[in-house]
Structure 1
Amino acid sequence: STREVDPLRILFCGSDDFSIASLRAVHHEHIARPDTIASIDVVCRPGKRTGRGLKQIREVPIKHAAQELELPVHKIDTFTGWTPPKVHDENINLIIAVSFGLFVPPRILNGAKYGGLNVHPSLLPDLRGAAPIHHALLRGDRKFGISVQTLHPKRFDHGVILAQTPYPGFDVTGSENFSAAELEANLAPIGGDMLVQTLRESLFVPPLQDLGWFQGDSSGVEFTHAPKITSGDKQVDWTTWSAEKILRYLRVLGSLW
């Protein structure tokens, strides 16, 4: 890229396997090109107590991945009162949040020279929300895509789309029989590759270009929202649901009632 960019000191906020694929991709780039990615610090939420008597602590999966990659890990449950670490007396200059779950506040974003990035497994603005993979499968989608967007200072999934799968998306062989975890496993490495390409091309450096498939005012357009799955999503309407829909929901959600 012709854009002048400081070596990146990244704060990577993640949780699950989808985010681990992005972390691994960025780490691979860091090892291959330490002049462009100087450092990576990982932020995750503390483990949750589970089991009988809440004696066991279930750690967030990305913690182990980060330790395996020998990256520093910071566990936080809120950004309030927390300041990103300095790296060799230099500030973190790029935040990357992938399926993190906590909103990255303006104070943290403004403290990073290049703001923030997010990898989202849908063709935004369609399927904004915490569970796009589940909702795509529940809807019966056969085409899928990835978006890399900036982190919006006020709202989830309202950033500038810097990179995106060309509309209407790509086919994933066998997806009609996939669970959410299986589709996630297919999409995760594609997300990691797109994120690295975004970093290589310095697409996060202003002037930002919105490359989203949907251009124009979306206020009057109904896009599907993809909120976190709740027990209400698992409730079958026996009077209206087809057998096919019931089986699809069972496959994606694991259990119904």
Structure 2
Amino acid sequence: MIYLNICIPIRIKISVVPIRFFSSKPPWSVLFFGTDQFSLYTLKSLNNLYSKSKLIKKLDVVTSIKQNANAIQVYARKYNLPLYNWPNVPEETVYDVGLVVSFGYLIPERIIKKFSYGILNVHASLLPRWRGAAPIIHAIANGDKETGITIIRIKPYHFDIGEILLQEKVPIGNDTEMPDLYQQLGELGAKYLIKSLENLPEYIKNAKCQSSNDVTYAPKITHDFTTISWFKMTSVQVYNLYRALKGYLVPVSTWQGVPIKLLEIKLCSDVSTNCIDKYPGYVMYDKRTKSLKVLCGDKSFVTIGSVGIFNKRIMNATDFSNGYLKKVPLECRYFK
């Protein structure tokens, strides 16, 4: 038997992968992700540094581009920042770090891995408390005495679970309203995100995992969240709900089966004396303060300065009393 050694040439296709060169110190190449006014606080600060400092050498922007332009879209175009429409993220351009503020979309792992230092996120709470879309509203509505901002590295598949780089606390006063806290946290988040960029490798190295204890969630605000449950809620809880929704939505209830909006809600120091036989939700008119007094679940009151009846104009408490309250018997004067 004879064996022949035959050499057959085989063509092998070799793919050339471009080498990516990442920085180990500033200035950084940055891709920013954001959609709203809260994220605009950070983008403005980044853009100021981009033009005036040695911290940032490249600043591109990703947002959800729509016909009704959002705050990020408007700002990026005004200042001629390169703008990309999510999910169309630039594939070949090299970035050192991604920065996410109030973006609202989960970023897949394949994109996160494009960044040498991953993607950082500003979250408006002291994580792991209030993970989710509406941390500021939930913090005020639940009567929290403090909140803050947290800088984390994002992970794929879940929101707000990444390692913590920085945190800063902020007190919540008894009368703090959402717009004021929103601005305070937006500005603070921008400040601390920039602080993390000043010594990014060190902050990444020392990042700590979130505790699995004391985790709470802050989901998107629904109609049920805005609806006052007069039997279950104390006067303080009703007032907290009003403060939490201020500038965004308003607490709602019903009058004689018709949906209503309740505005200018305040705590009332009066104690129930002549309402022993009344149930929570009972409404009376106070001539002295020219407001409505509503009985809450703990037998204390809130006052209401104006009311919005469905498909009607907003009216003050006096007009509501004259036009609606006085036209029904005392035993029927309830918000439900």
Report TM bin, short chain.
0.7 to 0.9
Q: 2:175, 2:62 → 1: CA distance? A: 34
**What is the alpha-carbon root mean square deviation over aligned residues?**
2.2
Q: Does the CA contact (< 8 Å) of 1:179 and 1:251 recur in 2?
A: yes
Task: State the Cα distance separating 1:105 from its structure 2 match.
Answer: 0.8
Task: Check the 8 A contact 2:141/2:243 in 1, yes or no.
Answer: no
Q: Determine whether 1:42 maps to 2:61.
A: yes
Deviation at residue 43 of structure 1 after TM alignment:
0.9
Q: TM-score, normalised by structure 1?
A: 0.80
SS at match of 1:196: helix
- Is 1:68 the equivalent of 2:78? yes
- 1:41 and 1:127 mapped to 2: Cα distance? 29
C-alpha distance in 2 between matches for 1:42 and 1:204: 25
Partner of 1:144: 147
Partner of 2:136: 133
Q: After TM superposition, give the deviation of residue 113 of structure 1 in Å.
A: 1.7
Q: 2:117 is matched with which residue: 114, 117, 136?
A: 114
Which of the pair has the greater relative contact order for Cα pairs under 8 Å at 6+ separation?
Answer: 1
Equivalent residues of 1:150, 1:204 under 8 A apart: no
Q: 2:104 aligns with which of 96, 101, 104?
A: 101
Question: Given the superposition, is the C-alpha separation of residues 204 and 226 from structure 1 closer, same or farther in structure 2, using an over 3 Å criterion?
Answer: farther
Shift of 1:141: 1.8
Moved over 3 A (4+): 203-206
Q: Is the 8 A contact 1:42 1:72 kept in 2?
A: yes
Q: Structure 1 residue 232 and structure 2 residue 232: aligned?
A: no
1:5 is the counterpart of 2:25? yes
| 1:41 partner letter | D
User: AA paired with 1:46?
Assistant: I
Larger Rg: 2
Q: Distance in 2 between matches of 1:144 and 1:65?
A: 28
Match of 2:138, SS state, is helix
Verify the 8 A CA contact 1:85 1:92 in the aligned structure 2. no
Q: Match for residue 177 of structure 1?
A: 175
1:16 pairs, out of 33, 36, 43, with 36
Q: Which structure has more strand as a fraction of its residues?
A: 2
Q: Is the 8 A contact 1:11 1:41 kept in 2?
A: yes
Paired residues of 2:24 and 2:201 also in contact (CA < 8 A):
no
Which of 149, 159, 162 does residue 162 from structure 2 map onto? 159
Partner of 1:92: 95
Find the aligned partners of 2:206 and 2:27 in 1 and give their Cα distance.
19
Give TM-score scaled by structure 2 length. Answer: 0.62
Question: Which residue of the partner structure matches residue 235 of structure 2?
Answer: 243
